[in-house]
Chain A
């Protein structure tokens, strides 16, 4: 059973459109991390959110951590083909990460 549920599983959009990926759980986490993974490579950390209600921006990417520290969202504004990849959310407790199944994002030129 997945501790973290990500939705949608797949997302295909046109360049310039916006997208949102959701990460939900019934568990509380000390932090929530978002990773991006390219084919044939390991995941790379995008951001860590720690405080309930926290919002972090990384250029065109906006990350939110829910008030109860159980859920998070990733919003990409004006997506570009370079944003294509597998996006993974992960909740951390006791130094260990629990990952969602991932969202495969494809941005068409």
Chain B
């Protein structure tokens, strides 16, 4: 099915562990984005990518790493998870008409 998928949907981890959140889109959109959503803050941009092998920092990039070896995949890695990274993470891709399509989100809890 066409669309944007995220995995896992739920993840519980411990402080200091490495965690990778996966994002896959089937439209071949050039731009992809990672956001985190916390109460009272709306969505904040973590990293974005204009194309394969081109990534750049957003508003809150500290503690996160991204890669984009293929157009359709845009994984987000927390190198050493902290409690402050407990959040809901959304991946999105952008159509040429500037609409962003969001995945269903990954709810991450860091204990």
Measured CB to CB, the residues of A under 8 A from B are 2, 4, 6, 31, 33, 40-45, 48, 88, 90, 92, 95-102
Contact = CB atoms under 8 A, between A and B. Distances in A.
B43 A48 contact: no
Contact of A43 (B40, B41, B94, B102): B102
A100 B50 contact: no
Interface SS, A side: strand
Given A96-B33, A97-B45, 8 more contacts: A41-B104, A41-B105, A42-B103, A43-B90, A95-B94, A96-B45, A97-B33, A97-B43
B76 interface: no
Interface residues of B, number: 25
A74 to B, nearest CB: 15
29 contacts: A2-B41, A2-B42, A4-B42, A33-B98, A33-B99, A33-B100, A40-B105, A41-B104, A42-B92, A42-B104, A43-B43, A45-B101, A48-B98, A88-B42, A88-B43, A92-B98, A95-B48, A95-B50, A96-B33, A96-B45, A96-B58, A97-B43, A97-B45, A97-B100, A98-B59, A99-B35, A99-B43, A101-B40, A101-B42
Contacts of B104: 40-42
Per DSSP, chain B at the interface is strand
Contacts of A44: 102
